[in-house]
Structure 1
């Protein structure tokens, strides 16, 4: 059986804490949201960088960097999936024969569903990229709402913005997650929050561990109903969750409580040819899940080139050498690339951690960019302007 990625509860608690006020607007916004709403774009960007730079001491001290651990999501936000350690699991099941692009399989299956719920691991940017492809496939079929996991009410207050914002939510600060939100908005989808309120999160935390997942799914289903289906009963929705169990549970709650036909999809690792992701029915069940999802999307392991995953080249990114000015720091450096003209509060197209002596490229789509580099002491060297042209 496949072993899907899972996320430990400490990160769930952290992200829930950043979610803000309720979907119905009845709870008072939480302190983090109050503070973020008052910050300038530059201050929000500095705050986001400082969160990441503050994690490096934990990494050097031996923080758990396995893929299932919360810290893996932080490494992914810094473009360092190469530092994420594999989970200690049994040998992976073979992916099986790829007959057609899995996004197309799910597109055809989704024709008879009102909601598509996809498990998307925060420490695996390739999952975000696949979900972005799926969103673009489903949009022409009448799917008009996207509910990303971790998208708070401060993000929803600015949901009409065309750009992904650092203030949208902590997990959405990862560059490929930002591109996911950008592509969803470009496809015409309305982005909504279904996060638990502060009161609801406390309600979940007070339950025994074994009961927390079910209550969390019930709350999120209720919030999604209030945000979307109460006023638009026929709306078609794409939902992102952080864990396979959450996707399956949420689909069940929507079916049972609101009569909404929901398709659950879990992304998982499998052994196969790089780039040959497959969609499968989980007839043999899924390790770690009491109830199997409707579909599994298996992703084979990817090769690395110059420290960056090769799937990004296939997706259209170009490897861009780091400017010489950014390669002399004696401290860990975070480099961010934003499109020219986009504010500092926008999620960058790429972000990369460089430790002293490391030489790694940025991975960017064609376009004009402004590059900035920062250490824990502040900005390092002057910003650089580059133009990315050509093919990957």
Structure 2
């Protein structure tokens, strides 16, 4: 079924390449790039949207560590990494020794990875679920791997129901991702990653564990179940795709790790990447983005971080720590987004609004090009590529 979707993906790729050529021509012949908004800017209740849970700020009354973790992911998914950074260590420096090659700069780092991927059938890259720039790097990597013949894009985030077609497979023919396609992928930077892989013609592969298991089982057992399921699902998808298929897999955290993890009871177990290697006999090229963070400077290759021994990953990337301006990550403006003020009518006087910017003509179901949570009295920017957008504000559900 996955391979049969290749023609649909190619059709979308051709259409989007043509659209890109038109946009490039417009940039050459017209006024400087700018962002414009349509005349309608509605304010709607979360309950009246197609996916109310996206705007639900209510957190179960659990222990403080759990609530902090959920809020960190929630804020990051709603464009407020600055709020996540207030409590998350993932926005603080974690220095690692330089890689022996001393490679630095995004293009040089990508060059090194692509050279190593020349003969690889599987490339696995991880992310922090709260640091959006990791998704931007994966998009750049996907663009560099496609000319090598990479055909499939697998992502942990893709919804994978036990019955029916996974949503991401239903939307193969669309040029945009949908909020229902996955959890983390409804964050706009992830959405733009999916727009990139759609444009390039990658075939999506959902593989997340979808078996209802005993939640009272030890954590180590629950991890083992999940890692085994994911590895088997990816091995099956690769076998189904055929011997010419090459796969880029985007995961969270340690799923990309090739060495065992130790547990408090003295046991060791394997993460998904190692299990996939053992199932297929294919040694994946593994890349970690979350271990190492520099105070400033360019992206660079690093040695394995303090939480992973030598051999855990083939490449470790040290990104600079995310900085903020106008409550938003500065890397997005540096990457080409235009900074635009949220129109005053959409800023809340009470409660909270989630302001969304979708390309004109795209439906409510599409992941917006930007989405940002705003509380009363805040000045928060939108970050958008040049184009015409439809704005709306959704009144968030709060305690």
Normalised by the length of structure 1, the TM-score is 0.76
Question: Are 1:159 and 1:192, in contact at CA under 8 Å, matched by a contact in 2?
Answer: no
Alpha carbons of structure 1 residues 94 and 243: separation in structure 2 relative to 1, 3 Å: closer
* Distance in 2 of aligned mates of 1:72 and 1:114: 34
Q: Which of residues 182, 205, 211 is equivalent to 1:169?
A: 182
* Distance in 2 of aligned mates of 1:348 and 1:213: 33
RMSD: 3.1
Alpha carbons of structure 1 residues 118 and 164: separation in structure 2 relative to 1, 3 Å: same
Aligned to 1:363: 383
Aligned to 1:86: 88
Q: Which of residues 277, 281, 290 is equivalent to 1:268?
A: 290
Structure 2 residues not aligned, in runs of 5+? 3-44, 160-165, 259-270
1:130-177, Cα deviation, whole Å (9 max, x unpaired) = 111111111111111000112121222222322111110111111111
- The DSSP-based 3-state class of the residue aligned with 1:325 is helix
- The DSSP-based 3-state class of the residue aligned with 1:266 is strand
Aligned to 1:227: 237
Aligned to 2:49: 46
Is 1:117 matched up with 2:124? yes
Aligned pairs (5 A) from 1:161-240? 161-197=174-210, 200-202=211-213, 205=215, 207-240=217-250
Is 1:258 matched up with 2:280? yes
Aligned pairs (5 A) from 1:127-142? 127-142=134-149
Question: Are 1:321 and 1:361, in contact at CA under 8 Å, matched by a contact in 2?
Answer: yes
Question: Are 1:116 and 1:238, in contact at CA under 8 Å, matched by a contact in 2?
Answer: yes
Structure 1 residues not aligned, in runs of 5+? 1-22, 24-41, 378-392
- The DSSP-based 3-state class of the residue aligned with 1:220 is helix
- Residue 281 of structure 1 deviates from its aligned partner by 4.1
Q: Which moved more, 1:228-237 or 1:297-306?
A: 228-237
* Distance in 2 of aligned mates of 1:268 and 1:194: 22
**Greater relative CO, 1 or 2 (CA 8 Å, sep 6+):** 2
* Distance in 2 of aligned mates of 1:346 and 1:325: 23
Aligned pairs (5 A) from 1:368-387? 368-376=388-396
- The DSSP-based 3-state class of the residue aligned with 1:111 is coil
Question: Are 1:95 and 1:278, in contact at CA under 8 Å, matched by a contact in 2?
Answer: no
Question: Are 2:352 and 2:374, in contact at CA under 8 Å, matched by a contact in 1?
Answer: yes
Aligned to 2:300: 278
Question: Are 1:286 and 1:292, in contact at CA under 8 Å, matched by a contact in 2?
Answer: no
Alpha carbons of structure 1 residues 239 and 57: separation in structure 2 relative to 1, 3 Å: closer
* Distance in 1 of aligned mates of 2:257 and 2:48: 31
* Distance in 2 of aligned mates of 1:289 and 1:171: 28
- The DSSP-based 3-state class of the residue aligned with 1:268 is strand
- Residue 274 of structure 1 deviates from its aligned partner by 3.4
Aligned to 1:332: 352
Question: Are 2:339 and 2:381, in contact at CA under 8 Å, matched by a contact in 1?
Answer: yes
Is 1:310 matched up with 2:330? yes
- Residue 219 of structure 1 deviates from its aligned partner by 1.2
Residue-pair matches, total = 330
Alpha carbons of structure 1 residues 325 and 333: separation in structure 2 relative to 1, 3 Å: same
